[in-house]
Structure 1
């Protein structure tokens, strides 16, 4: 009788959609008709699967096929479920997706009779390797689980620290190892060897570190040649623009593993949100009203041009990179004092605090508008300087917006935002004094 009632409901649903009659009424009619022998339904007797045991590698799929018997059963619908959705998921149509190593059971149940089902025993295993594409377009085979990484660049090491993978750093470079902020966030860095220096490497020290993979910046051809000879996999991660930076952090997350990859995507959403917030307020500033900005790097006459991420955040903040506007393209360009005087920047942003004191006392700089009006600022710096190819650069548009157009950003609490950022991405609680050191490095 239960089977008859279930069939009646199924038939009633189908008729209800066609006749626009309440299902309850139709179900009663169908039930009476069935009892009287006026309808002909065939109950389900068995559920069969094309497999009862299956092994899959993580991230692979399999389309499980269920057969309802007899073939002329009235209701042939099947409900698929997974005994452990963290190991494997299964779609409504029976597509199994392996998610992580482990075992689970996939069950196919008759929709007409929930007492009838068939089961598949599933084992999910991890592959030994995986293939990624680096920023040079190279296909690189790396271990499936990456736990030991050597990175040649400060920015790359910072990305690892930032993504929660600091303990995976097994070889670094001296400047990163000696960074006071890095030592605060990752005290263990003091014991990590530092075989990289400039574009070279102590290959014996690198081999001792037993890396699963090495990440390299561009221009490291000599190191690449040595790693090719040793058959040590390496991934090229480099960037100069905002879009390239986001690709770089996404790639680093992919290299490191699932949790780091998820954190990389979280960061990209945060970064994009800040860009949207700032550009949304500055987009209406006319070209002739945008402040002329000179960005100073290692020396007073070194700057970055149109190919640099610096130009991106200056534009987003409502300014114009005066060097880029005057044809400078390089990331490391040297200009003349005569050019700077001619460009007459309204704001000067300095990467290295020592240069502020130099230009404020220099007779050659005194008549430049930014110097006369004391619109000379040292860029914030924590684990890395915010302004150039740094993970902390997600905060740079907010800071630059407040510097160039303070009236548009009165509501932005940069101190609060910085504290939250460091806690979220470095798991580090910044003190009041440390916050001042980051935001006002010249003091």
Structure 2
């Protein structure tokens, strides 16, 4: 009898041990999967973001939002803008002027719910009311706006920080941002295509002008450069990319400065042969605009470029941070104007349409052409033409 009871006890213990083992195995099988705060079950990957945080994110998420200047632009470059569930406030604003090609190509952005204010001033409460819930939040310029770690803690949604970069001094950061976003979204191949497009375009511009002797270069200056809004003629960019990419002789060149406010006396002393004007200045519509200053300031009227009529309008590209496609378009315009023989095979209109078609129009040439038309004519003065001064 005792022997039978002992056998029963051993059997029960054996069954309990076996059940415990099976439960453990079943629990371990979810190691490659996560159930995120949105209720989605998905494979996850670990990402090291731009500020060194390791962030666990769903692989190829269906739903995301983009916080901060230029963030949605990069998602559009990767042709994944259809996965957003909301936008920041700048995308829904009604404005007479808009020089953001990515937004012009995607007017549907205006119809999305708003999750916070522009420049990264997110609203966690609004984010938590979104339906469907975003699985990932991408964030540029994280030093301003809502703190990314706090945003992640309050929403329970992984936040991936990106350094936006630029096309001159911080191109590696720009490319890393595209690669990181591409890895999260399952768009690695497209990210490499975009990077290759930029590298190939810049190399083409460089090669066309590399052998021009210093004494044969025309001096030039760009005024009215936008910086968080429109500015007057003295606002310039000492490392203006369209000049750098075409070996142009920028009279205000300084490799250590991105934007600067130079003195009237400096401009008069430089006396550039050709003047370019960033058309964002037209928004001012008063005496502070570069166009008004060139027309009415007697000292500027003595400039050689003004006297000879060599003043031209260019596309603004500092609009919710840099629109890289417009940088390239301006560079081809500058190159064609300064060195026509080096760019005689370039049709500027077709080249600009090609740029916008690839970057923001999903390969749709008709849409790329519409973006081009909007960009050229968004201001009272058409871009890439002589200005009446």
Tell me whether the two structures share a fold, i.e. TM-score over 0.5. yes
Unpaired runs of 5+ in structure 2? 1-28, 33-40, 283-288, 383-389
- Could you tell me which residue of structure 2 aligns to residue 235 of structure 1? 161
Equivalent residues in 2 for 1:422-433 (5 A)? 422-425=356-359, 426-427=361-362, 428=364, 429-430=366-367
Q: What SS class does the counterpart of residue 366 from structure 1 fall into?
A: helix
Residue from 257, 276, 286 that aligns with 1:349? 276
Q: Which structure shows the bigger proportion of residues in strand conformation?
A: 1
Cα displacement (A) at 1:319: 0.8
1:224–1:304 CA distance, 2 compared to 1 (3 A) = farther
Q: 1:154–1:176: 8 Å Cα contact kept in structure 2?
A: no
Q: Give how far 1:182 is off.
A: 5.0
Residue 226 of structure 1 is matched in structure 2 by 150
Partner of 1:24: none
Q: Deviations over 1:60-87 (max 9, x none)?
A: xxxxxxxxxxxxxxxxxxxxxxxxxxxx
Helix, strand or coil for the counterpart of 1:128? strand
Q: What is the alpha-carbon distance in structure 2 between the residues aligned to residue 172 and residue 277 of structure 1?
A: 35
Asked which structure has the greater CA Rg, the reply is 1
For 2:368 and 2:202, locate their aligned partners in 1 and report how far apart those are by CA, in whole Å: 27
How many residues align structurally?
315
1:62 aligned partner: none
Preserved CA contact (<8 Å) 1:291 1:320:
yes
Tell me how far apart the structure 2 counterparts of residues 400 and 249 of structure 1 sit (CA, whole Å): 25
Give the structure 1 partner of residue 113 of structure 2. 193
Question: Paired residue for 1:37?
Answer: none
2:18 is aligned to: none
1:203 partnered with 2:130:
no
TM-score (norm 1): 0.61
Structure number having the greater helix percentage: 2
Greater relative contact order (CA < 8 Å, ≥ 6 in sequence): 2
1:123-272 alignment runs, 5 A limit = 128-178=43-93, 179=98, 184-194=104-114, 195-198=116-119, 200-209=121-130, 210-211=133-134, 212-220=136-144, 222-224=146-148, 226-230=150-154, 231-232=156-157, 233-242=159-168, 244-245=170-171, 247-256=173-182, 257=184, 260-272=187-199
1:302 alignment partner, one of 215, 218, 235: 235
Aligned to 2:268, the other structure's residue is in SS state helix
Structure 1: runs of 5 or more not aligned: 1-54, 59-125
Cα RMSD for the two superposed structures: 3.5
Give 3-state SS (helix, strand or coil) of 1:267's partner.
Answer: helix
- Counterpart of 2:293 in structure 1 is 359
Residue of structure 2 equivalent to 1:438 = 375
